[in-house]
Amino acid sequence: MKILVVEDEVKTAKFLKKGLNEAGFVVDVARGGLEGLHLAREVEFDLLILDVMLPGLDGWQVLTRLRESGRRSLVLLLTARDSVQERVRGLELGADDYLVKPFAFSELLARVRSLLRRGPSRPQESIRMADLEIDLLRQRATRAGQRLDLTYKEFLLLTLLARRAGEVLSRTLIAEAVWDMNFDSDTNVVDVNVRRLRAKVDEPFPLKLIHTVRGAGYVMEHDQ
């Protein structure tokens, strides 16, 4: 599922993106209110995590304009303000939940999952392709019933490819999504890790799922 984090504090934004990625979510980050509102209007997100104190437009303004435009994405407000009036204001403007800083990531993750269960689409718990099964909640993968011994990054890479099966993913996109890094043409981290992943996911089995598209990137798909 896709989450937009609108947060101007760089450290907090990175912390949220990393934690939510590790929990299996696809995360985009906006550093200000104007950018956040633009992305929220242009892209279909399942949930927004929206800080109140933002440059450009504050969280209240973003939320108000978002609802006025007809966007019904779930919104979790983050703020250092803990008064009843502030919480009521947020909920009356159309927020779905409210979390006060500082917060424990485990609580934020529980609230995110709770909100998404209430939304129109439930969080995806598993991905199946041929005899490959990925358990997103337990972070386990099997092929033909055999448990795959994957590192954490290998699991993230496999999940990314499987979530976007049939779509050619560039090395730049993969590097950013899995390693949170800008792709350096001198770095072969993506190729090395795809090769290691194939050794575990594909080589022991007759049906190959991970394919190279020369000059473009990698795609996960099968013909059967």
* Percentage helix, strand, coil for the chain under 3-state DSSP, each rounded to 5: 40, 20, 40
- For the cut 90, the answer to whether the pLDDT of residue 49 exceeds it is yes
What's the pLDDT score for residue 32?
A: 93
DSSP letter for each residue of 8-71 = --HHHHHHHHHHHHHTT-EEEEESSHHHHHHHHHHS--SEEEEESS-SSS-HHHHHHHHHHTT-
Stated as kind and residue range, the H or E segment containing 190 is helix 189-201
Q: At what angle do helices 171-179 and 189-201 cross, to 10 degrees?
A: 80
Per-residue pLDDT at 184:
57
Check residue 206 and give its pLDDT: 93
State the burial class of residue 128 (Cβ atoms within 10 Å of its Cβ: 0-12, 13-18, 19+): exposed
Residues 10 and 103 in one domain: yes
Q: What's the pLDDT tens digit per position in 163-204?
A: 888 989 888 888 877 876 665 556 788 999 999 999 999 999
pLDDT band per the 50, 70, 90 thresholds, residue 23: confident
Based on the fold, state whether residues 112 and 137 are members of the same structural domain.
no
Q: What are phi and psi of 222, to 5 degrees?
A: -145, 155
Q: How confident is the model at residue 224 (pLDDT cuts 50, 70, 90)?
A: low
* Cα 161 from chain centroid (whole Å): 13
Range of the structural domain that residue 7 is part of: 2-117
Per-residue confidence (pLDDT) for residue 181, from 0 to 100: 66
Same domain, 106 and 131: no
Q: What is the pLDDT of residue 182?
A: 61
39-48 pLDDT, tens per residue? 999 988 989 9
Question: Is pLDDT at 113 greater than 80 in this prediction?
Answer: yes
Domain tally for the chain?
2
- Single out the residue in 100, 117, 134 at which a domain terminates: 117
pLDDT value at residue 142: 95
Task: Provide the pLDDT for residue 122.
Answer: 60
The enclosing domain of 86 has a CATH number of 3.40.50.2300
Cα distance between the two ends of the chain: 26
The pLDDT value recorded for residue 171 is 86
CATH number, domain containing residue 173: 1.10.10.10
Convert the pLDDT of each residue in 122-143 to its tens digit: 666 788 999 999 988 778 999 9
Against a cut of 0.85, is the pTM above it? no
Q: Which of 117, 138, 163 is the last residue of a domain?
A: 117
Domain boundary at 89, 117, 145, which? 117
Whether the Cβ atoms of residue 81 and residue 58 lie closer than 8 Å to each other: no
Contact between 76 and 50 under an 8 Å Cβ cutoff? The reply is: yes
Bridge partners of residue 127, in order along the sequence: 134
Chain-centre distance of CA 164, in angstroms?
12
User: pLDDT value at position 8?
Assistant: 93
Same domain, 12 and 34: yes
Reported as a single tens digit per residue, the pLDDT across 142-167 is 999 999 999 988 998 998 899 888 98
Do 100 and 134 fall into the same domain? no
pLDDT by residue (tens digit) across 65-92?
A: 998 888 888 999 998 877 778 777 878 8
Same domain, 21 and 95: yes
